[in-house]
Amino acid sequence: MAGEFGTQFMPQMSICHFDGGWSKEELVSSDSLSMHPGAHVLHYASTCFEGLKAFRQADGSVAIFRMDKNIERFAQSSRLLYLPEIDTEQLSRMITSSVAHFRDQVPDAPASLYIRPTHIGTEPAIGKAAAPTGTSSLYILLSPVGDYFSGGEASLRLLLDDQGVRCGSDHGMVKGGGNYASALKHIERAKVSVNADQVLFCPGGDVQETGAANFILIDGDEIITKSLDESFLHGITRESILTLAREKGLTVSERELSIAELIERSATPGCEAGLTGTAAVVAAVGTLIHDGVEYPVGTGLPGPKIRAMRDELNSIQWGQTPDTRQWLTVV
Ligand SMILES: Cc1ncc(COP(=O)(O)O)c(C=O)c1O
């Protein structure tokens, strides 16, 4: 598939608007959006979004992975940003019907259709710096995306940053544009200074998450990852992987992990680390960089455990193994 991730769009999108109540959804061109230059979102970042995927199944049908979880998180983000309360039934209908509309154009595995519900504050009111928007628009962009690993499976270089923060410590569970904006300066600086692919934010020395994915460490039969709190995004891939691991009898430790412990454990032969998220499912981490020193994780190369986790989740997403947990919505 040509083009970078997220740069191609289906020509139409489902949209609805809030002005005291929600309008009926309609399918409109996805080329442009008309709004007042004083719209609340353009000044005060009243915006949140979701990222989920539809997959072409082994039997030719199309199914969306964990849609209910993404809708729940979207509703929570909207609430925490004081955007109008979304109608989850309407949103579910907008997602399924727009994916069904383009069902024939959903690419075959390993490509997929990325779904981007977006909620923005539209009230033209630049005086509302400290007040919520009264009106909003909610739309669903659809973007066919290729195989994340089409260029081969590299192992990522992460800068462990215990100085910078991704976002406000009580705001990490909001999937809002402002959080990505505030993380960017740290990520760009890390690319230039140490050629890092991503920053692993570690406020106060506690390993948290990167700019767009959660972090897991696999040491023997144990998976270690930060326990849920409001400081970081509660990834749906993270939760799916931990569920599969628990079912297999692996030890899942949701707890604090310090930089010191992470570096120490990473030296263990067979130790693996990964970033979990919708785009890649799980991507291998090969090198940790801290205070100017580089530490390989295990061999420094992508390992078999991360690959097996990805294969297992992919095969559920692609309908190659039975969906015994009701994670798929067939459209
Ligand atoms: C900051 C951040 N953390 C974690 C994740 C992983 O979340 P999910 O697994 O739901 O895609 C994402 C998005 O993909 C993210 O942007």
pLDDT the model gives residue 147: 86
Name the closest-CA residue to atom 2, ligand 1: 212
Let me know: does 23 contact 287? Beta carbons within 8 Å. Answer: no
Cα separation, 120 vs 136, whole angstroms: 5
* Contacts for 80 with CB less than 8 Å, ≥ 6 apart: 171, 173, 174, 176
pLDDT the model gives residue 151: 80
From the alpha carbon of 211, which atom of ligand 1 is closest? Answer: 1
- Give DSSP secondary structure letters for 115-157: EEEEEEE--B-TT-TTS--SEEEEEEEEEEE--TTTT----EE
pLDDT the model gives residue 276: 97
Residue ranges of domains in the chain: 12-145, 156-317
At how many degrees (to 10) do helices 88-101 and 67-80 cross? 130
Local confidence pLDDT in tens for the 331 residues of the chain: 557 889 999 999 999 999 999 999 999 999 999 999 999 999 999 999 999 999 999 899 999 999 999 999 999 999 999 999 999 999 999 999 999 999 999 999 999 999 999 999 999 999 999 999 999 999 999 999 998 888 888 899 999 999 999 999 999 999 999 999 999 999 999 999 999 999 999 999 999 999 999 999 999 999 999 999 999 999 999 999 999 999 999 999 999 999 999 999 999 999 999 999 999 999 999 999 999 999 999 999 999 999 999 999 999 999 999 999 999 999 9
Cα of 20 from ligand 1 centre, angstroms: 31
Instruction: Look at the domain 12-145 and name its fold.
Output: D-amino Acid Aminotransferase; Chain A, domain 1 (3.30.470)
Cα of 278 from ligand 1 centre, angstroms: 7
Three-class DSSP category at 102 = coil
Within 6 A (CB) of ligand 1 lie: 51, 209, 212-214, 233, 235-238, 276-278
Probe residue for ligand 1, chosen from 173, 278, 309 as the CB with the greatest number of ligand atoms within 8 Å? 278
Cα of 126 from ligand 1 centre, angstroms: 31
Name the closest-CA residue to atom 14, ligand 1: 277
* Contacts for 224 with CB less than 8 Å, ≥ 6 apart: 216, 217, 218, 253, 255, 257, 265
From the alpha carbon of 238, which atom of ligand 1 is closest? Answer: 9
- Give DSSP secondary structure letters for 9-57: --SEEEEEEEESSBPPPEEEESS-----TTBHHHHH--EEE--EEEEE-
Structure tokens at 15: 């949209």
Helix (H) or strand (E) holding 246: helix 236-247
Let me know: does 169 contact 203? Beta carbons within 8 Å. Answer: yes
pLDDT the model gives residue 1: 57
Cα of 208 from ligand 1 centre, angstroms: 12
Cα of 214 from ligand 1 centre, angstroms: 6
Cα of 73 from ligand 1 centre, angstroms: 11
Measured over the CA atoms of residue 55, residue 61, residue 66 and residue 72, the dihedral's sign is positive
Q: Extract long-range pairs of 286-290: CB within 8 Å, 24+ residues apart.
A: 286/154, 286/155, 286/156, 286/157, 287/155, 287/156, 287/157, 287/158, 288/158, 288/160, 288/200, 288/262, 288/263, 289/157, 289/158, 289/159, 289/160, 289/194, 289/196, 290/159, 290/160, 290/259, 290/263
CB neighbourhood size of 143 (10 A): 19
From the alpha carbon of 172, which atom of ligand 1 is closest? Answer: 1
Q: Do domains 12-145 and 156-317 have the same CATH topology?
A: no
Let me know: does 330 contact 63? Beta carbons within 8 Å. Answer: yes
Probe residue for ligand 1, chosen from 233, 237, 314 as the CB with the greatest number of ligand atoms within 8 Å? 233
- Give DSSP secondary structure letters for 254-323: ES--BHHHHHHHHTSTT-EEEEEETTTEEEEEEEEEETTEEEESTTSS--HHHHHHHHHHHHHHTTSS--
Cα separation, 301 vs 229, whole angstroms: 31
pLDDT the model gives residue 316: 97
Cα of 282 from ligand 1 centre, angstroms: 11
pLDDT the model gives residue 225: 98
Q: Which CATH number fits domain 156-317: 3.20.20.70, 1.25.40.10, 3.30.2350.10, 3.20.10.10?
A: 3.20.10.10
